[in-house]
Structure 1
């Protein structure tokens, strides 16, 4: 994901604390160990999470609270037309268990 220039402090502020109803929704979807990292030089955001059923994540975009969150965040990051964060899926090339 890509954060707009100069928005790091605001991004952190909006996540601390995260909306309780959004946290509950993510947990209902089986999401845990969710972290977002920021590369301050490029404003790139990198998210890592565990999901009990990864295929279920695709339906998150239909949830009203998710849409509301995306709309709330759209002014500080690059987004798609539906306000979801513009993101690029990455290929896993190494994993150590």
Structure 2
């Protein structure tokens, strides 16, 4: 198991819409992420900066190979692209974060 953390940026004024869309996440997308070993996935919003902070556990990093090419994930990116900072392929601009502290 590995722990991944990254940040993204939500456009101002779309806080409620972002939450609504994730409350109604497509079952086929949720299934894909689970099949690829992603679980215990949380996203937090800093309302002052509109930074989204995501943390997810992954059973095996190798299972994520090719995930970005999955059509349902690309369709989700397209769906979310009007409310987030995105790359030219509509994937969210993500910045991996390094863990600097852990307490059991």
Tell me the TM-score normalized by structure 1. Answer: 0.95
Cα RMSD (Å) of the superposition? 1.0
Q: 1:19 aligns with which of 22, 26, 39?
A: 26
3-state DSSP class of the match of 2:66? helix
Q: 1:28 aligns with which of 22, 35, 39?
A: 35
3-state DSSP class of the match of 1:15? helix
Deviation of 1:58 (Å): 4.3
Larger relative strand fraction: 2
Consecutive unaligned residues in structure 1, runs of 5 or more: none
3-state DSSP class of the match of 1:91? coil
Structure with bigger RCO (C-alpha 8 Å, 6+ apart):
2
Tell me whether 62-71 or 52-61 shows the greater mean CA deviation: 52-61
Moved over 3 A (4+): none
Q: Deviations over 1:30-88 (max 9, x none)?
A: 11100000000000001001001123324210100000000000000000111110011
Tell me the TM-score normalized by structure 2. Answer: 0.89
Consecutive unaligned residues in structure 2, runs of 5 or more: 1-7
Tell me how many residue pairs correspond in the alignment: 97
Q: 2:70 aligns with which of 42, 50, 63?
A: 63
